[in-house]
Chain A
């Protein structure tokens, strides 16, 4: 009986200690200034995507440079997402989610520790936490004593995300600000064209965007598959007298496709697909609601 009591007591003490660790991780994260290199693996069904990223982070502000498979740089500054174009940062039409920050916010809100232990990560003493929070299970390896996240796996019904740092260093306080100071931050909001193309891109798989010019009007052609595996092509352009949406729709109809044109905020969108017109209209409503 005494032994059992001691066991329960020790479990409680460990649990309290790791609960305290979670608070410490959350508090520490907000003040960490780091630079590192990480590998992000996203798995959903039979699809696996891998990214290699250089990251410079000051608390929740960060500049992320994807080095592979396709180079792309973005930043989060004061809760706002920016896209980096050379030396300029422009406001993104969409928020880019960093799973690491989602993890911190989730466990800060509420979490249940499923298991906790000590381990080694790249030879460094670490804590391994398995935490359940907001519909996902997080497996996190936290470096000791820096409390930096070395590894994170997020398990959800829709798929898993794994982030693994192969390099992470604490950098001087001024480092992030010095790098950020090199960029010109443009506060101009994204154009209606960018917003509507994004609305389509975000809802299509295997999506691509190509641009053509018709009578000096730039037309973005967005193509991809809906979640029902139906191909959709959308011609998106600024409302222009030089292009007749009716004639474009007619061309698709002649070839036996379903086609429709919609106008939102002076943006014309001509959509064509093999779906039935009712399905297409429903899909359009779900995107542009």
Chain B
């Protein structure tokens, strides 16, 4: 007579001889633990069989494929298309009118003129311009 462990190992590996299988059948009548083991094993075996032998319908297949494709497209949209579109929209706006995108810059530019308007003297400090000579023309010309 074999031990429980030996029966179980030979059982799952299907190594039991004819006489051993009969002995194991007799053993199961008396051993509740081995009975539970065999039941669990058979349930597991059925489950594995169902998983490996399952054939989905073509309808289910196409549904799954289309769902996967949709999910991939959505992922692509969020990962590439949306940032690209944002860059294009922002870039176009920036190239066509970058300054209006920056009110602070306008404020800064206007502040130069506002300082002049608020000053009683027109000449700004350290003024430099390649058009300075136009002012010199004014003062080089005798005022007629």
Q: Which A positions have Cβ atoms within 8 angstroms of B?
A: 40, 42, 44, 49, 51, 64, 66, 70, 72, 74, 83, 85, 92-99, 102, 158-159, 161, 193-194, 197-198, 201-202, 204-212, 214-215, 219-221, 223-225, 231, 233, 235, 241-244, 247-248, 250-252, 255, 257, 272-274
Contacts and interface: CB of A to CB of B under 8 A. Distances in A.
B134 interface: yes
Interface string B100-116: 10010111011011101
Nearest to A94: B137
Interface string B78-100: 00000000000000000011111
B123 A208 contact: yes
B109 A257 contact: no
Contacts of A223: 113, 116-117, 122-124
B60 interface: no
Given A72-B136, A235-B113, A220 B142 contact: no
A274 B119 CA distance: 12
Given A94-B141, A97-B144, A209 B117 contact: no
A244 B99 contact: yes
Nearest to B114: A255
Interface residues of B, number: 39
A226 B98 CA distance: 34
B143 A96 contact: no
The 4 closest A-B pairs by CB, nearest first: A251-B110, A233-B113, A99-B142, A211-B129
Nearest to B113: A233
A85 B132 CA distance: 12
Contacts of A83: 133, 137
A74 B116 contact: no
B140 interface: yes
Nearest to B129: A211
Contact of A96 (B103, B110, B117, B141): B141
B56 interface: no
Contacts of B17: none
Interface of B: 96-100, 103, 105-107, 109-110, 112-114, 116-117, 119, 121-124, 127-144
A39 to B, nearest CB: 13
Contact of A210 (B96, B124, B144): B124
B117 to A, nearest CB: 5
A220 B135 CA distance: 12
Nearest to A250: B106
B100 A247 contact: yes
A99 B134 CA distance: 19
B104 to A, nearest CB: 10
